[in-house]
Amino acid sequence: MAQSFIACDREQVFLMPPDVREWLPEGHLAWFVIDAVETVDLSAFFAAYRSDGRSRPAYEPSMMVALLLYAYARGVRSSRAIERSCEEDVAYRVIAAQHKPDHATIARFVERHEQALAGLFGSVLSLCAQAGLVRVGVVAIDGTKVHANASRDATMDYERIAREILEEAKSVDAAEDELYGERRGDELPPELASAQGRRKWLREAQRRLDDKRAEQARPVPRSRPERLKESKRRLDEELSTECEANQAYEAYRARGVMKNGRRFGAPPKPYTPPTTPQGTINTTDPDSRLVKGMRGWLQGYNAQAASNEQQIVIAAEVTVASPDFGHLEPMLTAARSELAAAGVIDAPEIVLADAGYWHQPQMERIAADGIQVLVPPDSSRRKTPRPGWDGGLYAFMRRVLATEHGAELYRQRKQMIEPVFANTKFNRRMERFQRRGRSAVRTEWRLITATHNLLKLHKHQLAAAAA
């Protein structure tokens, strides 16, 4: 009996369904992203384009936003990789409607709409809230160190930077000496080196200018009364502006106190700069810092996140400080702000964080707002308590965490926040930021966490449909 195979004829005409709605199954993530973008307010994106229809047409922002969200959800952030996927991957082709935006267009879109893309985090959080996934009785806060798009070896101090500048200047001088010899390199060309040559060149230039003016129609000069009227109008505008400035200045003087708290008229304190600038800076990404991760020091950022019991990220920010100390209250404030913007009425009742977030004044202020704080005063790696930490809030927190209820609550921290980082950095391969600068990195981190929430929402809806 002959063997039987499915035919493989690559010269056959187009056999795929002509309707792109038949290219992917109904429950595919691409359709979910497209539907989600249709419900999001994209006015901030559309406002960046001209409304008169002039200039070269741009790709529709809704398509570009859906393309970026789907790519980030799949762990693809490179603009070149997204461009390649728009040619090779069926899901990308469906989202892009068979368009193929090049990598430069994608990168410019991300740079142009940086703030609007960061705002998508709140829009996705609002969708999760509508699906009932944003319950915030217990909130866990933690941070993870993420590599910057910078080399650790590019971190230099002032002396090294100055030394490299001098070495570069010497190499430039040597290259110019080899190229120009004894000449400066900015001498006039031969035709302009002599007086006769310059007169000839100027006569030719004057002739070309006269010919061009003869071809153009001369504008009709305005009459003298019109010119006087225009001059008077401009003068009145300048006088009006100057009067307003004088009034504002007099009101400022009447207050008697400047913004920095000093009396008006007091001599300023002179600033004495140091002889040599202190510290170091990374010449590739000046905003990045040397931060300590689980496997040693790295050049990067401290990416902070707050999540609830459903592992939905409710706040995402980026800091440059290596320790988590001092970030508990700012992250809780950011979480409450994001929840309020998403229309969530409930407020966090319990906040969980590891020992690195211990900040007694912040914890006392949070507790004063009626929110219970569970932060161990001692790290799990420390065998004995720190000297002097035997009483007060330290002893109270140890007693609370030693109770059965306190220990059960604090055990939720790991399963609430750490799987978010594990899924992001290992499953979705987002261990290093692509862009540079704290503002750009913050947008990237919020997009990463927004797509994490989007994947959670998609999984939730699939489970609800199957039930």
How would you write the chain as a 3-class SS string? CCCCCCCCCCCCCCCCCCCHHHCCCCCCHHHHHHHHHHCCCCHHHHCCCCCCCCCCCCCCHHHHHHHHHHHHHCCCCCHHHHHHHHHHCHHHHHHCCCCCCCHHHHHHHHHHCHHHHHCHHHHHHHHHHHCCCCCCCEEEEEEEEEECCCCHHHEEEHHHHHHHHHHHHHHHHHHHHHHHCCCCCCCCCHHHHCHHHHHHHHHHHHHHHHHHHHHCCCCCCCCHHHHHHHHHHHHHHHHHHHHHHHHHHHHHHHHCECCCCCECCCCCCCCCCCCCCCCEEECCCCCCEEEEECCEEEEEEEEEEEECCCCCEEEEEEECCCCCCCCHHHHHHHHHHHHHHCCCCCCCCEEECCHHHCCHHHHHHHHHCCCEEECCCCCCCCCCCCCCCCCHHHHHHHHHHHCHHHHHHHHHHHHHHHHHHHHHHHHCCCCECCCCCHHHHHHHHHHHHHHHHHHHHHHHHHHHHHC
In terms of C-beta density within 10 A (0-12 exposed, 13-18 middle, 19 or more buried), how is residue 65 classed? buried
Task: List, in order, residues 6 or more apart from 59 with CB less than 8 Å away.
Answer: 99, 101, 105, 109
95, 49: one domain: yes
347, 451: one domain: yes
Which candidate, 450, 460, 430, 347, places its Cα nearest to that of 120? 450
Residue 362 lies in a domain: yes
48, 196: one domain: no
99, 178: one domain: no
Residue 13 lies in a domain: no
Res. 240: pLDDT tops 90? no
Among 73-77, 83-87, 250-254, which is the least confidently predicted range? Answer: 250-254
Among 96-105, 170-179, 227-236, 376-385, which is the least confidently predicted range? Answer: 376-385
371, 338: one domain: yes
Task: List, in order, residues 6 or more apart from 213 with CB less than 8 Å away.
Answer: none
Give the C-alpha separation, 298 to 292, whole Å. Answer: 6
Res. 8: pLDDT tops 70? no
Among 18-22, 27-31, 84-88, 194-198, which is the least confidently predicted range? Answer: 18-22
Res. 372: pLDDT tops 80? yes
Percent of the chain with pLDDT over 70: 87
Among 178-192, 322-336, 357-371, 423-437, which is the least confidently predicted range? Answer: 178-192
Domain-terminating residue out of 165, 186, 207: 207
Total number of domains constituting the chain = 3
Give the C-alpha separation, 314 to 128, whole Å. Answer: 10
110, 139: one domain: no
356, 454: one domain: yes
Higher pLDDT, 177 or 337: 337
Res. 313: pLDDT tops 80? yes
369, 384: one domain: yes
Structural domain range at position 46: 20-115
Res. 70: pLDDT tops 70? yes
Residue 222 lies in a domain: no
Res. 161: pLDDT tops 90? no
Residue 267 is predicted with a pLDDT of 64
Average pLDDT of the residues in 149-174: 85
Domain-terminating residue out of 115, 138, 172: 115
Res. 4: pLDDT tops 60? no
Query: Is the separation of the CB atoms in 288 and 299 below 8 Å?
Result: yes
Residue 76 is predicted with a pLDDT of 94
Average pLDDT of the residues in 47-73: 89
Percent of the chain with pLDDT over 90: 49
189, 60: one domain: no
433, 365: one domain: yes
Residue 223 lies in a domain: no
Residue 6 lies in a domain: no
Residue 141 lies in a domain: yes
Give the model's confidence band at 17: pLDDT under 50 very low, under 70 low, under 90 confident, else very high: low
Residue 174 is predicted with a pLDDT of 86
Residue 2 is predicted with a pLDDT of 61
Res. 421: pLDDT tops 60? yes
Residue 337 is predicted with a pLDDT of 93
Query: Is the separation of the CB atoms in 338 and 125 below 8 Å?
Result: yes
In terms of C-beta density within 10 A (0-12 exposed, 13-18 middle, 19 or more buried), how is residue 208 classed? exposed
Higher pLDDT, 331 or 174: 331
Residue 249 is predicted with a pLDDT of 65
Res. 105: pLDDT tops 70? yes
Residue 382 lies in a domain: yes
452, 305: one domain: yes
Domain-terminating residue out of 98, 115, 132: 115
313, 406: one domain: yes
Residue 49 lies in a domain: yes
